């Protein structure tokens, strides 16, 4: 009969090491979001810097899709890609109608609109504090 051999490292005397995932850099997250929106052919993408102006997020990204189907597709794919790449789960609002979908990714809030809805609400003008040009079709 053979005796069991215990390895000192596996004997329970070793403490587990906790690896903390670093919070992603805001600029890295913004670049990732903008890259995905570009890949999915989002239109008229505008980034508004909210740092120091609002506590809801550091950046707001506003973009348009050509139809409700494209808006929904862009939103779902962006949420999946953010989760797959370690940026955490994303909160989605407005997906069933897909006229205006809001993605909350923590430091970045993304608004995806159909063009008519975007020009009606004109968030760029409201949040840019006079820094952004008017949206096409709202003269």
pLDDT one digit per residue (tens) for the chain, 139 residues = 444 444 444 445 554 443 334 455 889 999 999 999 999 999 999 999 988 787 888 899 999 999 999 999 999 999 999 999 998 889 999 999 999 999 999 899 999 999 999 999 998 888 765 555 555 554 4
pLDDT at 19: 37
Buried b (16+ CB within 10 A) or exposed e, 9-37: eeeeeeeeeeeeeeebeeeebbebbbebb
Return d(Cα 4, Cα 40) in angstroms, integer.
58
pLDDT for 7: 47
DSSP 64-93: E-SSHHHHHHHHHHHHHHHHHTTS---EEE
What does the pLDDT read at residue 52? 79
């Amino acid at each position: 009969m053979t005796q069991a051999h215990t390895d000192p490292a596996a004997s329970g005397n070793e403490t587990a090491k906790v690896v903390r995932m670093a919070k992603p850099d805001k600029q890295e997250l913004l670049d990732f979001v903008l890259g995905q929106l570009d890949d999915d052919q989002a239109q008229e993408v505008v980034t508004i810097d909210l740092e120091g102006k609002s506590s809801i997020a550091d950046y707001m990204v506003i973009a348009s899709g050509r139809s409700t189907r494209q808006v929904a597709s862009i939103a779902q794919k962006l949420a999946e890609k953010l989760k797959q790449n370690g940026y955490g789960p994303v909160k989605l609002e407005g997906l069933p109608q897909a006229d205006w979908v809001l993605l909350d990714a923590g430091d970045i809030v993304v608004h995806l609109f159909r063009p008519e809805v975007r020009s009606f609400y004109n968030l760029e003008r409201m949040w840019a504090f006079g820094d952004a040009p008017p949206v096409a079709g709202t003269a």
